[in-house]
Amino acid sequence: MAALGTPFDLPLDDDPAGALHLAHSPCPNDTFIYHAWTSGLIDGAPATRLTFADIDVTNTACARGEFDVAKVSYAALPYLGDEWRLLPAGGALGRGCGPLVLTAGGTGTGDLAGKRVAVPSDRSTAFMLFNLWLRDLGSPEVTWEVVPFDQIMPAVRDGRFDAGLVIHEARFTYGEYGLRSLVDLGEWWEGSTGCPIPLGAIVAKSHLDTDAVTTAIRASLDYARAHPEASRAYVAEHAQEMSDDVCRMHIDLYVNEFSRDLGTEGRMAVERLLGGAADLGLVPKLTLAIP
């Protein structure tokens, strides 16, 4: 499997003309949701060609107009133009699933000034929450560098960075690297706003039949829930050597009611996050409609 920072196409025996180019991560929540659709198990769904890519790759690729349907960070939405539409299904929002700031040593929240921090993307919800949290601390000056998310914990453990901003299954495994959590940014966000955390969004090119795409995503999710054994081997194959237990916890945490529909609560969370960040000058104003 290619490094997470490098997009690669899933080999297909049949790549029909006109197939939608879909991009998402190889993380268990994405492979669980999209397996049925991309495997041709959903009758009447549009054909797909799949690329696995880290979210930092899809964030920048979609800003260049690449892909037809993609998983991006909610924090990247203000940088996407009118050629894209935000879809109400297939993304990642939730509670208790926020990013963590990890450290290997005695760094405390009052000691961050001048520290080097590894981050998975500079256009991610994790990075946006990190900056909002730093504002709450009085804006200590830190130096950050984008590092593929699967390399962040080893880099902090080995002393190449003072702290690391981590996402996904890292919340289940950071103890194995001898690291400790400096702050759970999800807990901080939920405590400050009462809102769930908008992490990953699904966008589609505006010229497409986005209703059909949304229907396919929901049907794929419904199939995955009804037949969890159907995707188990596929999820494990692409899960970066995660244990079965970690895969299951990952899916249980990130696949929830918001995966099928943003709903009123999800829409309010997106507006609160992106509106607040824009008011502070962290991102441009959002121009895409929230469905």
Annotated binding site for substrate: 71-73, 125-126
**Which among 168, 207, 238, 250 is annotated as catalytic?**
168
- Angle, CA 67 vertex, CA 289 and CA 241 arms, to 5°: 105
What tokens were used for 191? 């405590």
Q: What is the DSSP letter of 114?
A: T
Cβ-contact 106, 158 below 8 angstroms: no
What's 51-89 look like in SS3? EECCHHHHHHHHHCCCCCEEEEEHHHHHHCCCCEEECCC
Task: For residue 209, give every residue at least 6 positions away whose Cβ sits within 8 Å of its Cβ, in sequence order, or none.
Answer: 46
Q: At 98, phi and psi to the nearest 5?
A: -80, 170
Q: SS3 of 179, please?
A: coil
Task: For residue 13, give every residue at least 6 positions away whose Cβ sits within 8 Å of its Cβ, in sequence order, or none.
Answer: none
Report DSSP letters for 203-272, one per residue.
EEETTS-HHHHHHHHHHHHHHHHH-GGGGHHHHHHTSTT--HHHHHHHHHHHSSHHHH--HHHHHHHHHH
Known catalytic membership, residue 35 = no
Positions at the binding site:
71-73, 125-126
List residues bridging with 163 in a β-sheet: 103, 117
Residues known to be catalytic: 168
